[in-house]
Structure 1
Amino acid sequence: MVKKEEASTRIRIKIRAYDNRIIDQATKTIMETAERNEAKVVGPVPLPTERGRVTVNRSTFVHKDAREQYEIRTHKRLIDIVNASPKCVDALMNLNLPAGVDIEVKM
């Protein structure tokens, strides 16, 4: 006896931002919208934070040993939405999220 798998819609949302407070606010908004439209939400899964480092000279000509180091951190989260209805997809597409948040959606 083999169980028949139902054709379910799975949406994978990858969120990136430089500020962790903004990314948490965006994930909360997405999860609330999906739950309001009766879709099952898996996550948010925190992905590893990327650290970009840049080293520059302090002076323009001499003093090679004097350097400044800068770092930028990119925080990432992953959310899976299972059994999303067309109404849920429309609600997610029309979300108003804070500036500075990059979203990648795969269906």
Structure 2
Amino acid sequence: MYIGDSARVLKNKLKHFGVKVSGPVALKRKNFRFDTNRSPHVDKKSREQFEQRASKRLIVLYGLTPAVMQMLGDSSLFPPPPSGVETYLKIKKVKFKKEK
């Protein structure tokens, strides 16, 4: 399961709780490249190249309640990521919907 699939699964789960969801919007991917020497002392021209990629998705949620916020903190709501993939949840600003 890739990042786009995980974002769609999360979006569908949040819709069941009555949260209005906007997104997922793909943000720019960051590539980190670095070289290392293959040998510690000799052969400066012999190097290995490594690359690490960081992909991000933006999902905006409207109509949050404290109960939904509690569920967002629960890791069982998210699908398990594939091996070698880490997922993070960042909450920027919260305005709760007034309950009647």
Query: Taking structure 2 as the reference length, what is the TM-score of the superposition?
Result: 0.73
8 A Cα contact 1:54 1:69, kept in partner: yes
Task: Name the structure 1 match of 2:16.
Answer: 36
Which runs of no fewer than 5 residues in structure 1 stay unpaired?
1-19
Misfit runs of 4+, over 3 Å: none
Question: Offset of 1:95 from its aligned partner?
Answer: 4.4
Choose the corresponding residue for 1:74, options 29, 37, 54.
54
Task: Name the structure 2 match of 1:6.
Answer: none
- The structure whose residues are more often strand, as a share, is 1
Choose the corresponding residue for 1:62, options 42, 49, 67.
42
Which runs of no fewer than 5 residues in structure 2 stay unpaired?
95-100
Identity, in percent, stands at 30
Query: Taking structure 1 as the reference length, what is the TM-score of the superposition?
Result: 0.69
Q: Higher RCO, 1 or 2 (CA under 8 Å, sep at least 6)?
A: 1
Choose the corresponding residue for 1:101, options 65, 87, 99.
87
**Most deviating of 88-97 and 50-59:** 88-97
